[in-house]
């Protein structure tokens, strides 16, 4: 049973090696019998929808988009309000937001060509602007020069092209008169603010995302401020699942999210279906689902000449993420005219070409059993084990797996080789 497999092969960067395993007494971890997340301690019966979760985990790779009138300034969405951009200037940008070159089908085909299976748009970020037609505020896309419901166009394009449509929503809102936490030195008077009134607004808008836009996943954010409580988090989770039982909800709906590592410390106590490490690859975890969100440049929203990551860095990030059993949500910030920068599209296309060649080890796979390193990451799917080779060492040595015999090994994406 002891074996060490030595492949005297020179691997190109990010080559993928497929091992066809004969699983006599299988030691690979089975898929989870029951997902661990759910509504939190207020309703222990309401667990994560297992079928919806599995469908989402199988996707492994999605596109995150941070976009809004702030793109006109090229500064960070939400955070630059009252910092680089004076409050009044920031809050007036929507009056000039006119992305005439926006084409939802083009965005979604860029995502699809990159190998992404789902799409998450900032419906409302910390700055309070709604990029959809909302019945509950005038501070929305309907009151910009473009007027069109751009988020509806994104939803329909997703549905046309078979990409799962999803929405980001910030529970904190530094623009709303009744949101109770003041951000820095903002002039908004909070003395008469009222969280009950704000909460009603928030629930109404989230209701719109679910019933008017058929969002399949809600990526909540902004839960860390004092205004947002554990009770509100659990209530919001339950409200969402009551409207659509198939909905997937991240852990930032509640207060269990800890630091940028983004995992929930007590899954029984706090609501949420999965963890959200930010700007980092999550640690190996195949008991609590997770998704790393990482920017293709440095800023979440578009910035001219922002530092763009290389194709290799993006692919290695994807490999290490799925090797740790997580999903990757790669963020793009489109330009104020509605287009995604051509140099970013080129990187996405090259990622997509690589994903297509190696998709057998990506979609529907789970991370492990070998832990990801800088050199190597591993996924498995049924009787196949996929070794992703990132380093350029000429020799790969992996330890034996108890009860597993290797029947055959071959390189993917280099079909003339067969090193069985």
Residue 214 pairs in a beta bridge with none
133: nearest Cα among 51, 213, 217, 225: 213
Please say which residue, 49 or 299, places its beta carbon nearer to ligand JFZ. Answer: 299
Please say which residue, 208 or 278, places its beta carbon nearer to ligand JFZ. Answer: 278
CA dist 277 → 262, 329, 364 (Å): 4, 10, 21
Instruction: Give min distance, CB of 165 to ligand JFZ, in A.
Output: 18
User: Helix (H, G, I), strand (E, B), or coil: what is residue 17?
Assistant: strand
Please say which residue, 194 or 307, places its beta carbon nearer to ligand JFZ. Answer: 307
Please say which residue, 175 or 300, places its beta carbon nearer to ligand JFZ. Answer: 300
Angle at 73 between CA 173 and CA 129, to 5 degrees: 25
Q: Please give the residues from 194 up to 223 whose contact with ligand JFZ meets the rule CB under 6 A.
A: 221
Which of 127, 149, 273, 278 contacts ligand JFZ by CB under 6 A? 278
Please say which residue, 250 or 379, places its beta carbon nearer to ligand JFZ. Answer: 250
Please say which residue, 80 or 180, places its beta carbon nearer to ligand JFZ. Answer: 80
Interaction pattern, residues 221-250, with ligand JFZ; x per rule: CB under 6 A? x--x--------------------------
DSSP string, 270-318: S-BSBB--BSSPPPP-SSS-BEEEEESSSSSS--TTPPPPPHHHHHHHH
Q: How many Å apart are CA 324 and CA 281, to the nearest integer?
A: 8
Instruction: Give min distance, CB of 122 to ligand JFZ, in A.
Output: 7
Interaction pattern, residues 69-108, with ligand JFZ; x per rule: CB under 6 A? --------xx------------------------------
> In sequence order, what are the residues at sequence separation of 6 or more whose Cβ sits closer than 8 angstroms to the Cβ of residue 222?
126, 170, 171, 172, 173, 228, 252
What are phi and psi for residue 46, nearest 5 degrees? -85, 100
Instruction: Give min distance, CB of 130 to ligand JFZ, in A.
Output: 15
Q: How many Å apart are CA 411 and CA 9, to the nearest integer?
A: 10
The verdict on 169 binding ligand JFZ (CB under 6 A) reads no
Instruction: Give min distance, CB of 251 to ligand JFZ, in A.
Output: 12
Locate 419 and state its tokens.
């090193």
Q: Which residue has the tokens 């207020």?
A: 42
Please say which residue, 14 or 64, places its beta carbon nearer to ligand JFZ. Answer: 64
Instruction: Give min distance, CB of 132 to ligand JFZ, in A.
Output: 17
Q: How many Å apart are CA 117 and CA 164, to the nearest integer?
A: 6
Sign of CA dihedral 175, 177, 182, 185: positive
Q: How many Å apart are CA 275 and CA 263, to the nearest integer?
A: 4
Instruction: Give min distance, CB of 77 to ligand JFZ, in A.
Output: 6
The verdict on 293 binding ligand JFZ (CB under 6 A) reads yes
Q: How many Å apart are CA 351 and CA 385, to the nearest integer?
A: 22
Quote the distance between the C-alpha of residue 66 and its chain's center.
12
The verdict on 173 binding ligand JFZ (CB under 6 A) reads no
Please say which residue, 11 or 257, places its beta carbon nearer to ligand JFZ. Answer: 257
Please say which residue, 136 or 224, places its beta carbon nearer to ligand JFZ. Answer: 224
Instruction: Give min distance, CB of 331 to ligand JFZ, in A.
Output: 7
- Residue 366 per-residue DSSP state: E
Q: How many Å apart are CA 46 and CA 37, to the nearest integer?
A: 9
Instruction: Give min distance, CB of 11 to ligand JFZ, in A.
Output: 34
Which of 300, 302, 370, 380 contacts ligand JFZ by CB under 6 A? 300
Instruction: Give min distance, CB of 291 to ligand JFZ, in A.
Output: 11
Q: Which residues bind ligand JFZ (CB under 6 A)?
A: 77-78, 221, 224, 278, 293, 300
């Amino acid at each position: 049973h002891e074996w060490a497999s030595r492949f005297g092969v020179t691997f190109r960067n990010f080559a993928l090696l497929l091992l066809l395993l004969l699983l006599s007494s299988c030691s690979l971890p089975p898929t989870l019998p029951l997902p661990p997340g759910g509504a939190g301690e207020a309703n222990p019966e309401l667990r994560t929808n297992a079928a919806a979760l599995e469908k989402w985990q199988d996707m492994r790779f999605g596109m995150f988009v941070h976009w809004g009138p702030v793109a006109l300034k090229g500064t960070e969405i939400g955070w630059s309000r009252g910092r680089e951009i004076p409050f009044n200037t920031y809050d007036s940008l929507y009056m000039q937001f006119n992305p005439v070159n926006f084409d939802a089908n083009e965005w979604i085909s860029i995502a699809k060509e990159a190998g992404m299976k789902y799409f998450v748009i900032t419906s409302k970020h910390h700055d309070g602007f709604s990029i959809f037609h909302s019945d509950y505020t005038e501070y929305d896309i309907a009151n910009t020069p473009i007027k069109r419901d751009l988020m509806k166009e994104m939803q329909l394009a997703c549905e046309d092209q078979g990409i799962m449509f999803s929405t980001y929503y910030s529970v904190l809102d530094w623009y709303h008169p009744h949101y109770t936490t003041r951000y820095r030195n903002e002039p908004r008077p909070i003395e008469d603010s009222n969280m009950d009134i704000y909460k009603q607004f928030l629930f109404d808008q989230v209701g719109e995302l679910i019933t008017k836009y058929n969002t399949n996943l809600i990526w909540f954010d902004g839960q860390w401020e004092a205004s947002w409580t554990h009770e509100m988090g659990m209530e919001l989770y339950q409200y969402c699942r009551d409207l659509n039982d198939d909905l997937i909800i991240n852990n930032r709906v509640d207060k269990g999210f800890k630091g940028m590592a983004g995992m929930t410390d007590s899954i029984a106590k706090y609501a949420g279906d999965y963890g959200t490490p930010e700007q980092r690859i999550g640690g190996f975890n195949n008991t609590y689902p997770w998704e790393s969100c990482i920017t293709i440049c440095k800023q979440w929203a578009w910035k001219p000449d922002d530092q763009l990551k290389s194709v290799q860095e993006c692919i290695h990030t994807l490999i290490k993420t799925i090797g740790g059993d997580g999903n990757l949500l790669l963020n793009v910030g489109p330009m104020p005219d509605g287009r995604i920068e051509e140099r970013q599209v080129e990187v996405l296309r090259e990622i997509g070409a690589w994903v297509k060649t190696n998709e057998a080890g990506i979609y529907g796979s789970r991370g492990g059993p070998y832990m990801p390193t800088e050199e190597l990451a591993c996924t498995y799917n049924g009787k196949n084990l996929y070794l992703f080779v990132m380093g350029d060492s000429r020799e790969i040595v992996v330890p034996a797996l108890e009860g597993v015999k290797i029947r055959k090994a071959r390189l993917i994406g280099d079909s003339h080789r067969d090193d069985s």
